[in-house]
Structure 1
Amino acid sequence: MKLLLDQGLPLSAADLLREAGIDTLHVGEIGMSAAEDLEIIQKAREDRRTVATLDADFHTLLTINEATFPSVIRIRIERLRAQAITNLLLNVIRECEEDLEHGAAVTVEPNRIRIRRLPLLPNI
């Protein structure tokens, strides 16, 4: 599993995830701190990474573009510190790895994880 952490997540979480064996980059480490969401999606697609974010716009962009990749993990829990984010993402990866590898929009809330396979609005 390869992750790309969005700007709203702690930079130190990338270090903790790497220590746990997850290939992780933070947008701040690769000069994309001010990048638009579409640029981050494109970078994740090119590098075959899953985006982890606090931003709801990523799921919207996946829907509008009928994207099948990259997967996006949206965390809807605020004020988590780096270790808590790391533990949360490790649990999400453990629970959802197969879905994430095939393209999924994952929403993490305090009491549940919701998984939707991509594309979010398949052609009918």
Structure 2
Amino acid sequence: MKFLVDMGISLRTVSWLRSDGYDVVHLRDEGLRRLPDNKILIKARTEGKILLTIDLDFAQLLAVSGDSLPSVILFRLGNDNYDAINKRLTNVLSECQEDLEVGAIVSVSNETFRVRRLPI
């Protein structure tokens, strides 16, 4: 799996994913801190990457677009620090690989996650 990481996600999560052998790019790595959300989705789709974010706008943009990719993992945690995100991400990646490969929005909370296949 390959990931594009939005600005709200820690660089420590990026390092953690890289140490597990994943192909990961943070928007900051490419100097794209201010890239508009629609362009971020286009970049993720074009590069075949799953978007990691805490920004709710991406789910809405995908729903309106009718697109089936890119997949988005949306963290809706009470605590957005990297430890909480990494712990929940471990569960999502082990249980949602097929959904993420074909196109899905995975909304992740503290105890559960919800998968919605794309298009919505």
TM range (shorter): over 0.9
- For structure 2, list consecutive stretches of 5 or more residues without a partner in the other structure: none
The equivalent residue for 1:99 is: 99
CA distance in 2, matches of 1:46, 1:119: 17
Which shifted more, 27-36 or 87-96? Answer: 87-96
Calculate the TM-score normalised by the size of structure 1: 0.91
Which shifted more, 101-110 or 12-21? Answer: 12-21
Q: How does 1:78-93 map to 2 (within 5 A)?
A: 78-93=78-93
- Runs of 4+ in structure 1 off by over 3 angstroms are none
The equivalent residue for 2:19 is: 19
The equivalent residue for 2:52 is: 52
CA distance in 2, matches of 1:110, 1:83: 12
Work out whether residues 16 and 83 of structure 1, in 8 Å CA contact, stay in contact via their aligned partners in 2. no
CA distance in 1, matches of 2:102, 2:5: 19
Number of residue pairs aligned between Structure 1 and Structure 2: 120
CA distance in 1, matches of 2:54, 2:47: 20
CA distance in 2, matches of 1:58, 1:21: 26
The equivalent residue for 1:68 is: 68
Work out whether residues 71 and 104 of structure 1, in 8 Å CA contact, stay in contact via their aligned partners in 2. yes
Calculate the TM-score normalised by the size of structure 2: 0.94
Q: How does 1:1-40 map to 2 (within 5 A)?
A: 1-40=1-40
CA distance in 2, matches of 1:3, 1:88: 16
Letter aligned with residue 74 of structure 2 = R
Q: Does 1:118 align with 2:108?
A: no
User: Considering only aligned residues, what root-mean-square deviation do their CA atoms show, in Å?
Assistant: 1.1
Seq. identity, %: 40
The DSSP-based 3-state class of the residue aligned with 1:80 is coil
